Amino acid sequence: MGKKICALTMVRNDDFYLRRWVAYYGAELGRENLYVYLDGKDQLVPSWCDGVNVTAVDKIPGQVVEAEKGRLGFLSDKAAELLRRYDLVIGTDADEFLVPDPALGLSLSEYLDRADIKTSISGLGVDVGQHTGEEGDISEDGTFLSQRHYARLSTRYTKPCVIAKPVRWGSGFHRIKGHNFHIGKGLYLFHFGYFDLGRIKARFEDPSRRAAGWTKHLERRSKTIRLVTERKAGDWESWTRFARFVQTVFRPPYAWNKPAMFEMVVIVRIPERFSKII
C-alpha cells in the first residue's frame, strides 16, 4: 500500500484557479483527499466541489504581509492535524501545480510514493508568463499549458510544498522555518498567478484587493509577462538542470533555507509534453 497523500489550499473569491486546482489534484490524489479553506464565512461553497472537504473559516485579518503570515500559520496548523492521518501533505496556493516530468512516466502520487522525504520536498519553480506577441487571452476551455509556452525559472516558486512532518511554513509556502529544502529530480512547481495580462488588470480593479494593499504586489509580479515577451527563451533541458543545481547549492545571505540563483533571469520554452497536464 502506498503513502497516503492529501493536498490543502486557501482561497478567497478565486473560482477560476480553484476549479483547476480541484480538477488536477483531485485526479491525482482523489477528491476526498483535498482540503480547501475559504477565507471568510461570507464565501459560498462552490457547487462543483462535491466530494472535496471545503470549509469556510473566519477571514484572516490584516494587510498583505500580516494576513499572509496569519494564513500560513493557519495552514501549518491544519497540515499538522492532517499528518495524523496522512503520510504527506501538499500545501500550495490555488494557482500552483506540482507536476512530475511526463518523461518519467509517473503520476504525482507515484512520484511522491517513491521519493525519500524526510521533512519536505520541493519542485523546481516555473513561473509561467504570457508572450504578448504570440499568445492571446487565456481560455477556460483548453489546458493552460496548451495556451502558454514560456516561463521564468524562479527561485520564488521553488517551494517546500510537500511535507512529511509538522512544520511552520513561512509566508506563501516559500520556506520552512528551521529546516532546509530538497528539490526533487524531475519535479516542478508551475505557477500561473501572473500568466494572463487581462486577469492581472482585473485583479487591479478588485476593490477588496486594493483595500488589502495588493496593488504593488500585482504590479511587481506582472514583470513575468514583460520578461517572457522581451527575452529570448532558452532550452528547457539544459537550463532546468542548471537551475536545479544552482538552487540546491546556493542560498541568499538573508535566508539560508531559501534557494538562490544570483538574480539571474532565465526564460525557457516549456516542452510540448507538459501541454495536456494542466
Question: What does the pLDDT look like over 177-207, one tens digit per residue?
Answer: 999 999 999 999 999 998 998 888 776 666 6
DSSP summary character for residue 112: H
Cα dihedral 17, 240, 89, 105 in deg (nearest 10): 90
Please state, in angstroms and rounded to a whole number, the distance separating the CA atoms of residues 155 and 258. 8
Give the pLDDT confidence of 80-121 residue by residue, as tens digits.
999 999 999 999 999 999 999 999 999 999 999 999 999 999
- Which residue do the cell numbers 496569519 mark? 70
Residue 67 clears pLDDT 70, i.e. is over it: yes
For the chain, the first-to-last Cα distance in angstroms comes to 27
Residues in the chain: 278
Given this model, what pLDDT does residue 212 score? 54
Residue 135 clears pLDDT 90, i.e. is over it: yes
Given this model, what pLDDT does residue 115 score? 97
Instruction: With cut-offs at 50, 70 and 90, classify the pLDDT of residue 256.
Output: confident
Give the pLDDT confidence of 38-61 residue by residue, as tens digits.
998 998 899 999 999 999 999 888
Please state, in angstroms and rounded to a whole number, the distance separating the CA atoms of residues 245 and 250. 9
User: Across-strand partners of 128?
Assistant: 151
Instruction: Decide if 212 contacts 67 (C-beta within 8 A).
Output: yes
- Which residue do the cell numbers 517551494 mark? 159
Q: Tell me the average pLDDT across 24-50.
A: 95
Residue 63 clears pLDDT 90, i.e. is over it: no
Q: Tell me the average pLDDT across 166-186.
A: 93
Instruction: Decide if 163 contacts 8 (C-beta within 8 A).
Output: no
Percent of the residues in the chain that have a pLDDT greater than 90, as a whole number = 75
Per domain, the residue ranges of the chain are: 5-274
Given this model, what pLDDT does residue 244 score? 97
Given this model, what pLDDT does residue 200 score? 80
Q: Tell me the average pLDDT across 1-6.
A: 92
Given this model, what pLDDT does residue 214 score? 54
Please state, in angstroms and rounded to a whole number, the distance separating the CA atoms of residues 231 and 131. 10
Instruction: With cut-offs at 50, 70 and 90, classify the pLDDT of residue 174.
Output: very high
Residue 210 clears pLDDT 70, i.e. is over it: no
Architecture of domain 5-274: Alpha-Beta Complex (3.90)
Given this model, what pLDDT does residue 167 score? 97
Instruction: With cut-offs at 50, 70 and 90, classify the pLDDT of residue 252.
Output: confident
Q: What is the mean pLDDT of the chain?
A: 92
pTM reported for the whole predicted model: 0.93
Given this model, what pLDDT does residue 87 score? 98
